[in-house]
A and B are shown apart, each in its own frame.
Chain A
Amino acid sequence: MIIPASNYPKYPGKRKVKYQNMGTNIKLAWRNLWRNKRRTIITVASIFFGVLLSAYMTSMQEGSYTKMVDIVVKFYSGYMQVHQEDYWENKSINNTFEYKQDLVDQILADKDIDFVIPRLESYGLASSQELTKGAMIFGIDPKGENHLTKISDKLSAGNYLQKKDDGVILGQGLANYLRLNVNDTLVIISQGYHGISAADKFPIRGIIKHVSPELNKSIVYMSLHKCQEFFSAENRLSSLVINVANNKIMKRALRHLKRKIKHPYSVMSWEEMQPEVVQQIEGDRAGGVIMKAILYIVIAFGILGTIMMMMMERRREFGVMIAVGMQKRKLASIVFFETLFIGLLGILSGLVVSYPILLLQSANPIPLTGQAAQLMEEFGFEPYMFFSTAWVVFRQQAISVSIITLIIAIYPVISILRIKEIKALRA
């Protein structure tokens, strides 16, 4: 027997009381937080700077990846390509496919798709007088290709191709090797569709300085019409290059297209076509994760130190609270809230300040100078440090600090659940 219920007044509804108590616990936690203002501010500030730094670093990384993907996509592959299903394994002119308007219409039916451009790619020997060199031959729709890769901007001499142009554009490296200039003649010898021999002379319309050193030494652009004729591959294509607005949309469009476009075609994303770029990004991201992990570990110890100090200081008070009737789990929930509040304040202040800074940085990328700029330009990158304001930049920090805070919050909870009131009262 404990106490007759009649000794106590009627209690209000359980739900109402639950909310009232929750409110009291939260109020108590909040006030406890400000007992030692300086310490709380220092702890919150450490999280704030951690979030700010980490968000800045992530933004810079993600900004550069976005730019890198943008360059890779606009450089050559587009976001996606449709091939004959064996083409990617064996890039032979015999593994090309016949152009069908139905296929293009099917692709363009997806509202995410911006445009589709046709290509016929193969290889040949490019010659001039006694000089010969292996070349990559790209049959392109001059207007469409320029829309994606902006190759006309890279012309160092001469003019860009017209729709049914008979001429070619050479990479500067190849032109130098073959000692050719605009209006000279290039000879190409190759094997056409199903083994038909292909050999022809082409007037040089222009020379481009391609950002890729490899392509610069081997690329030959000609109009699709001329290329099909040269390889005796009338109406045939090696790929349909598909462009979308960005990488996020690409993932959705790829899912749709892979469902729609089946045998004898295959749809590939730029990630599948250029796994080395994905690996490079992932590798760099992993490096960033280590840096951020170190940063957050330092912050975590800062929070833990504060919580441990707070627990030591208030041990006697906890003893009193339990002595007068507060259940340990309720007391633990108050201290849990306190720890959460510290984390939340740090996250919120960090995000509130970092967002406008990154927004500003994203609109005004930092220009690089000197050797760094030169190096970037050589690799085809604009000499700027780009920033991203993608949701992931902020989400990552919020999740990381929340997890750290939640893990740290286990310590006071366990300590309180283990507290012996008599020992705590003597503290």
Chain B
Amino acid sequence: MNIIEITHLHKTYNESEVKVHAVNGVNLNFEAGEFAAIVGPSGSGKTTLLNLLGGLDSPNDGKILIDKTDLSELKSSDLIKFRMKNIGFVFQSYNLIPVLTAQENVEFIMHLQNRSKQEREERSMELLRAVGLDGRENSRPNKLSGGQQQRVAVARALASKPKFVLADEPTANLDSKSTEQLLSIMEELNRKENITFIFSTHDQRVVNKARRVITLEDGKVISDERKR
């Protein structure tokens, strides 16, 4: 069953009076539990597609249905609520809240979801254990390495029990060891919790782990391969 249905998606930017078709007529579907990588050269539209999928940007044309909900029909505050309940984000530069500890960062979205203190604590510790950071729950981001911060970001993305996680170049700032660790963790979480992961990446290591690789060029899908 498709959890994401993208139909005829277009996004155009007007840069210096030149129209740039960042996403140009993309049609894609994602099923629950996918571990997909969107690849392509710089400027191919990977990040734009991810932003549109996450409801952070709005398309000029086309539709995105998530669990049958049309994102374009949601007003701003409902879209934020929708994101909070359904979508987890992992950013290239981690983007943790610097004044919160690792555990508080993970709990942050659960706070927004009005979860009880007990549930927040249990879930955040469970996730921090899953990403191999138990014992570092009281550390603030500036006391963690890049790899550790990105693992906290993954834990944060999963804290709200989202339908899918969008990760924009999650390994771009990580060394090989951290990349390996992060990918293994995400793969394991994908298998165990059946959470859909969609990455945009340049990193071959991520591509190798992905079970589906979508290649974009000039805003168009030029290949969509599923691995056995």
Contact = CB atoms under 8 A, between A and B. Distances in A.
Interface of A: 1-3, 7-9, 11-12, 14, 17, 20-21, 24, 28, 31-32, 34-35, 316-317, 320-328, 330, 421-422, 425
Given A1-B68, A20-B117, A21-B114, A324 B108 contact: yes
Contacts, number: 92
Interface string B79-120: 011111110110100010111100000001101111111010
B63 interface: no
Contact of B56 (A1, A9, A421): A421
A324 B84 contact: yes
Interface residues of B, number: 39
Interface of B: 51, 54, 56-57, 67-69, 76-77, 80-86, 88-89, 91, 95, 97-100, 108-109, 111-117, 119, 156-157, 160-161, 163
Contacts of B83: 323-325
Nearest to A9: B119
A21 B119 CA distance: 14
Contacts of A32: 99
A353 to B, nearest CB: 28
B115 A11 contact: yes
A325 B115 contact: no
Nearest to B94: A320
B113 A8 contact: yes
Contacts of B160: 325
B111 A425 contact: no
A316 B93 CA distance: 11
A324 B156 contact: yes
26 contacts: A2-B67, A3-B67, A8-B113, A8-B161, A12-B116, A14-B114, A17-B116, A20-B111, A20-B117, A21-B111, A24-B111, A31-B100, A34-B99, A317-B95, A320-B89, A320-B91, A320-B95, A324-B84, A324-B109, A324-B112, A324-B156, A325-B84, A325-B109, A325-B112, A325-B113, A422-B56
A320 B84 CA distance: 12
Nearest to A329: B77
Contacts of B82: 2
